[in-house]
Amino acid sequence: MAATPGNKLGKIAIVGSGLIGQNWSMIFAGAGYNVTVFDVDPDQLTRAQTSLKNTMEQYERDGYLRGKLTAAQQMSLVSTSSSLSECLKDSFYVQECVPENLELKKKVFAEMDAVASEDMILASSSSCLCASMFTDGLSHKSNMLVAHPINPPYFIPLVELVPAPWTNQDVVTKVRALMEEVGQSPITLRRESLGFALNRIQYAAINESWNMYQSGLLSAEDIDRVCHNGLGLRYAFIGPLETMHLNANGITDYCDRYAEGAYNVQKETFKPVPVMYDVATAQKVQEEFNQTIPLDKLAERRSWRDKRLAELSKLKKTLDGEK
Ligand SMILES: NC(=O)c1ccc[n+]([C@@H]2O[C@H](COP(=O)([O-])OP(=O)(O)OC[C@H]3O[C@@H](n4cnc5c(N)ncnc54)[C@H](O)[C@@H]3O)[C@@H](O)[C@H]2O)c1
């Protein structure tokens, strides 16, 4: 039977219609859910609706549209509301996407708490703030957690689920299942940790890039090439731990063979943490980037990046289908 719009039971609320709110809207509509989007700024809500329509149509033309519904069918699942309580009404899941500001998150979560139903799950897209910082004292706090996407979530599926100490385990399990169902790739942290998992790994990579650049060892372009034409190709399919496992006769053998060497490299070359990403070094890197990616070409380069991420995401899906 052909898929028809609205074939999923249940409605999802998106609070905040900026970059991330729009991505979540497309992800949930792509999976067949009815989506209602709220924004405090009515003009932004109108802009978001136009942008969603244009983006979905473009993705349909490019072959990047997710799910089995057409762009028009997916768009018919998305509605907007200028009232937070209307937006949340009858929703089983809320994805908050307002700017990363602690006081604002506290305010918005308190407002949502006041109108939430007993079993409604409320997740924040927060990149850095932990749920315990803005849900303490709320009546539905056991239904609240962080579900952190990675930009652009439509093409990078990882979602970090980070429960507060009071988040119900059953809620985490349900959000993980929902994320899998809509085609994202969730990971679950067992407790709150600043930076979650992705940024801790990302900052470790930036730290070494920064230190090597500062020491004059190689150019910014060559440092980045280590990732996009080296490690990154591998990491698009297997992570650092599986790399260890495959690069020897299992990870224990890897450690027998290489742990001492790796330890010595670190002892010899690593600088103490934390590393401050200082303006003086940043200016030197920017001078180098001015030759290839000047500031007025950033938007163009972002589109170039997103197109490649879209193609890689398509390739990964094809290869995973072949498993
Ligand atoms: N942009 C990224 O790369 C990225 C990646 C992962 C997670 N995040 C997180 O997602 C969240 C949203 O980020 P974004 O980049 O979409 O921000 P954005 O600035 O693009 O959009 C935020 C939207 O929230 C709206 N808003 C402001 N106050 C509001 C309120 N009280 N109620 C409802 N809407 C309100 C704004 O009008 C705006 O449309 C942040 O917590 C951010 O850290 C962002």
Which domains are assigned to the chain?
11-188 (3.40.50.720), 199-292 (1.10.1040.10)
Ligand 1 centre to CA of 301 (Å) is 22
Rg value, the chain, Cα:
22
pLDDT band at 6 (very low <50, low <70, confident <90, very high): low
The answer to whether residue 87 scores a pLDDT higher than 90 is yes
Question: Ligand 1, from 14, 15, 17, 19: best to mutate by most atoms within 8 Å of Cβ?
Answer: 19
Ligand 1 near 100 CB (within 6 A): yes
Atom of ligand 1 at shortest range from CA of 108:
31
Where are any strands of DSSP class E within 72-128? Answer: 78-81, 91-96, 121-124
Q: Both tokens of residue 99?
A: 């700017």
pLDDT band at 10 (very low <50, low <70, confident <90, very high): confident
Ligand 1 near 40 CB (within 6 A): yes
pLDDT band at 5 (very low <50, low <70, confident <90, very high): low
The answer to whether residue 245 scores a pLDDT higher than 80 is yes
The answer to whether residue 280 scores a pLDDT higher than 70 is yes
Alpha helices in 116-231 (DSSP H): 132-135, 169-181, 198-214, 220-226
* Mean pLDDT, residues 274-302: 97
pLDDT tens digits, one per residue of 296-318 = 999 999 999 999 999 999 999 99
Is 184:148 a contact under the CB 8 Å cutoff?
no
Give the residues across from 14 on adjacent strands.
Answer: 37, 95
Atom of ligand 1 at shortest range from CA of 126:
41
Q: End-to-end CA distance of the chain: give it in Å, rounded.
A: 26
Ligand 1 near 16 CB (within 6 A): yes
Give the residues across from 161 on adjacent strands.
Answer: 147, 188
Which residue shows structure tokens 């985490």? 172
In degrees and rounded to multiples of 5, residue 81 shows phi and psi of -145, 140
Q: What angle do CA 223, 225, 230 make, to 5 degrees?
A: 115
Q: What is the mean pLDDT of the chain?
A: 96
- At 258 the pLDDT is 98
Ligand 1 near 98 CB (within 6 A): yes
Give the DSSP letter of residue 90. Answer: T
Protein residue closest via CA to atom 32 of ligand 1:
40
Predicted structure pTM score: 0.95
Protein residue closest via CA to atom 21 of ligand 1:
18
- At 1 the pLDDT is 36
Q: What is the DSSP string of 215-269?
A: TTSS-HHHHHHHIIIIIHHHHTTS-HHHHHHHTTTSHHHHHHHHHHHHHHHHHHH
- At 3 the pLDDT is 45
